Amino acid sequence: MSVATKPKLSTKPVMEPRAILGPAGNRVRVSVESKRRTEALKKPQRPKVPVSQSPPSVVQSNVSVDSSNSSDSSSSNSSFKTESSRKTVKRNGVKQVKPKVASTADAAVTEISPAISGPLKRCDWITPFSDPLYTSFHDQEWGVPVHDDKKLFELLVFSQALAELSWPTILNKRDIFRKLFDDFDPLSIAHFTEKKMLSLKVDGCLLLSEPKLRAIVENAKVMLKVQQEFGSFSNYCWGFVNHKSLRNVFRYARQVPVKTPKAELMSKDMMRRGFRCVGPTVVYSFMQVTGIVNDHLVTCFRYQECNADAKKEIKPKTEETERLTKDVENICLSH
């Protein structure tokens, strides 16, 4: 029995196209893909030299290679390397400029940043809702050392008025106070007659009570005597702290006292001389507002400024200081 056999197919391997010799010597014609592949392999890679590691000798060797005029293949390769290295140097040069640009930008930010500042930190009793007049008083007057007698007398009156009024109310009526009391001239107030006192009761009834109004007139008379004895009311007041502003270091408002032993000593001496309505609390308020004591909180921007102002104080004569010191010592010994 004959079996039909399937015809065998010829399975010859597919051969790659042979290189065909051309008529012009041994130059081989290859396919386009093979040619591209070969050129890609022969093409030299551009050297990647980091900026920080590029030695200065590279530039010098590149210049010397570029100046040679040899016609061999090494010359062409060298010229190619020179061109690529030049680009690298040029590119590196651009990179070296970038830090300068960044530093310029940083300088610009630094220059602008001081202008962008937050609100000033003040003492805790000054809030964003405080009277602007009161805030201005805190920033410009409260705690600044005062040596003018008329100014001291005005602030003494205001410290006495704090028993009935608040600082914002006093400051809003400050012009009325100055008008009623002749700009707080002690010599003028000491000569107020009873008729003038009655007019003060009528015009100033909305400001202070009658005892307070009469106390102002009496204190003006006593102040004239103090000026004759100590040369000025300023010498007398500042003598209790040896003519140097006391600097407290309170961080919180609750730490600030309403009176101190120094204020009690000054209050006792003032009452002995005939001053009225000058209790220790009133005297300590007077010491705070006149800068005899710096009670700005240490977190307040005015704390250091008032300390700087205290250095500009003008000290009185040595004889007057010694006389006041002995007088205070005698008072302490007698009591």
Residue 237, marked binder: no
* Contact in structure between 223 and 153 (CB atoms under 8 Å): yes
Element (H, E) at 160: helix 149-161
Half-sphere exposure in the Cβ direction for 43 (13 Å, CA): 9
* Contact in structure between 121 and 300 (CB atoms under 8 Å): yes
Distance CA 241, CA 261 (A): 12
Taking CA atoms, 14 is separated from 17, 30, 35, 37, 169, in Å, by 9, 17, 21, 21, 111
Residue 147, marked binder: no
Residue 335, marked binder: no
Query: β-pairing, 20-21 with 246-247?
Result: unpaired
Closest CA to 224 of 191, 265, 271: 191
Residue 247's SS3 state is strand
Residue 293's SS3 state is strand
Residue 138, marked binder: yes
* Contact in structure between 206 and 212 (CB atoms under 8 Å): no
Annotated binding site: 123, 138, 296, 300
Annotated binding site for Zn(2+): 123, 138, 296, 300
